[in-house]
């Protein structure tokens, strides 16, 4: 065969454009250059030693078989308690399902509710994979352009202004990638209530839950009068620092659990067993105390980066409140953020992510900076970029 056939939906899937930057950064490093990485969307900290010990023990005990598709009952129960203790949310374990990363949770939920042609509202910019998931299911993405005027987030006015027939689900993330901004709980609940009247779902991505600064960590699930159209995904990747363990979870209405169970049985059988034993350990109080120290480290990094950016006179149109990202408005510097990112890499030796990875709206005018490195390296990065910009 001259070329091997692939499906139209697969062929249309977009890559992460930042991979080009990452590839070039790696090549520069191989040639002996010192590159500061601000493009990577994962904590630089490794997972906690106590997780490794627990997983070793599980391995030694031969706990290497499949778990039930919904996950280890003990872990589902522990997550239910975690919601009660830290978020004052009553979430019975029967509504919780472990998934291989929240990536699978997102796919599973969308597979459970979308018919071909159904519309899904999301923001531009937003986490890029969501658009791909919708396309793979032959759904239709309804993009709502957002900028600094709404904190780069959806709110109930914007939702209603962009409302159209056929929307089955609205996807939001709080805190969000790439902007680190939060949607206030009252606003989320208003959106859920509006959508309930339209017989549509609100899917809230709480993957950066816990990584918030100068404000309490929250979950929409804590609201007492929440309609039953709210779906939540979460993960052990970010706050818990376990990206490579590929473990997340979802919370869905009881009525959807049998179908999610059935879909999970067919799509992945179960989330990784050893990762689930690691997660049981990471939810213990001593581990959570260590994660709180890491959150404080992220807060210091955030402050260091924002201070350095402010002193350099860069445009930061909104103050990020969570995650580990700053969405830098470079409209005063370029109409081509992708080229600027490449120039910054080659001349300032700092790797950053162009806005193009997160959508189209004002993407040419934004760059995402991830503060997943030390305050010293962050300040150094801003200095290097400033020195380079002065030479242009
Ligand atoms: C907003 C958001 N949602 C979901 C994910 C998926 O993460 P994971 O599959 O590691 O849980 C990411 C990863 O970066 C993300 O930024």
Rounded distance between C-alpha atoms, residue 101 and residue 99, angstroms: 6
Tokens of 8: 């139209």
DSSP letters for 221-251? GG-TT--TTEEEEEESSSTT--GGG--EEEE
From the CB of 173, is ligand 1 less than 6 Å away? yes
Tokens of 199: 């017989």
Rounded distance between C-alpha atoms, residue 176 and residue 209, angstroms: 10
Paired strand residues for 122: 143
Rounded distance between C-alpha atoms, residue 380 and residue 358, angstroms: 26
Cβ neighbour number for residue 177 with a 10 Å cutoff: 23
DSSP code at position 348: I
Q: Mind listing the domains of the chain with CATH numbers? A: 8-46+287-390 (3.90.1150.10), 64-284 (3.40.640.10)
| Atom 13 in ligand 1: residue holding the nearest Cα | 41
From the CB of 102, is ligand 1 less than 6 Å away? yes
Per-residue confidence in pLDDT tens, the chain, 392 aa: 568 999 999 999 988 888 889 999 999 999 999 999 999 899 999 999 999 999 999 999 999 999 999 999 999 999 999 999 999 999 999 999 999 999 999 999 999 999 999 999 999 999 999 999 999 999 999 999 999 999 999 999 999 999 999 999 999 999 999 999 999 999 999 999 999 999 999 999 999 999 999 999 999 999 988 999 999 999 999 999 999 999 999 999 999 999 999 999 999 999 999 999 999 999 999 999 999 999 999 999 999 999 999 999 998 989 999 999 999 999 999 999 999 999 999 999 999 999 999 999 999 999 999 999 999 999 999 999 999 999 98
Tokens of 332: 């005063």
> Coil, strand, or helix at residue 123?
strand
From the CB of 103, is ligand 1 less than 6 Å away? yes
DSSP letters for 34-54? --EE----S-SSPPPHHHHHH
User: Probe ligand 1: pick from 110, 125, 235, 275, max atoms within 8 Å of CB?
Assistant: 235
- Burial status of residue 95 (CB atoms within 10 A of its CB: 0-12, 13-18, 19 or more): buried
Tokens of 234: 């979460």
CA 324 / ligand 1 centre spacing (Å) = 12
Are 92 and 80 within 8 A, CB to CB? Answer: yes
DSSP code at position 114: P
> Coil, strand, or helix at residue 65?
coil
Paired strand residues for 169: 120, 201
CA 34 / ligand 1 centre spacing (Å) = 28
> Coil, strand, or helix at residue 37?
strand
CA 387 / ligand 1 centre spacing (Å) = 33
User: Probe ligand 1: pick from 47, 102, 247, max atoms within 8 Å of CB?
Assistant: 102
């Amino acid at each position: 065969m001259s070329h091997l056939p692939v499906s139209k939906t697969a062929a249309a899937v977009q890559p992460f454009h930042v991979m080009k930057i990452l590839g070039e950064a790696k090549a520069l490093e191989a040639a002996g250059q010192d590159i500061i990485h601000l493009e990577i969307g994962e904590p630089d900290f490794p997972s906690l030693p106590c997780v490794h010990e627990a997983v070793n023990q599980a391995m030694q005990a031969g706990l290497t078989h499949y778990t039930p598709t919904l996950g280890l009952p003990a872990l589902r129960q522990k997550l239910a308690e975690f919601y009660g203790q830290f978020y004052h949310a009553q979430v019975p374990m029967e509504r919780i399902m472990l998934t291989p990363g929240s990536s699978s949770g997102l796919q599973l939920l969308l597979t459970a509710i979308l018919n071909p042609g159904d519309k899904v509202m999301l923001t531009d910019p937003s986490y890029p994979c969501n658009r791909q998931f919708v396309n793979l299911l032959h759904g239709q993405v309804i993009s709502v352009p957002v900028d600094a005027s709404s904190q780069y987030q959806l709110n109930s006015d914007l939702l209603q202004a962009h409302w159209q027939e056929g929307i089955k689900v609205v996807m939001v993330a709080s805190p969000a990638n790439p902007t680190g901004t939060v949607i206030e709980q009252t606003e989320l609940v208003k959106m859920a209530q509006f959508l309930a009247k339209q017989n549509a779902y609100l899917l809230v991505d709480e993957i950066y839950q816990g990584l918030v600064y100068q404000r309490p960590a929250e979950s929409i699930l804590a609201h007492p009068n929440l309609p039953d159209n709210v779906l939540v995904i979460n993960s052990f990747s970010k706050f818990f620092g376990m990206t490579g363990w590929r473990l997340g979870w979802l919370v869905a209405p009881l009525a959807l659990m049998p179908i999610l169970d059935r879909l999970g049985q067919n799509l992945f059988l179960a989330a990784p067993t050893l990762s689930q034993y690691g997660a049981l350990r990471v939810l213990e109080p001593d581990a959570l105390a260590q994660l709180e120290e890491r959150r404080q480290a992220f807060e210091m990094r955030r402050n260091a980066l924002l201070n350095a950016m402010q002193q350099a006179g860069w445009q930061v149109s909104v103050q990020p409140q969570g995650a580990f990202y700053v969405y830098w408005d470079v409209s005063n510097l370029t109409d081509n953020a992708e080229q600027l990112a490449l120039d910054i890499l080659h001349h300032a030796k700092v790797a950053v992510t162009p806005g193009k990875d997160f959508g189209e709206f004002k993407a040419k005018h934004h760059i995402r900076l991830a503060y997943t490195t030390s305050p010293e390296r962050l300040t150094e990065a801003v200095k290097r970029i400033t020195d380079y910009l002065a030479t242009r």
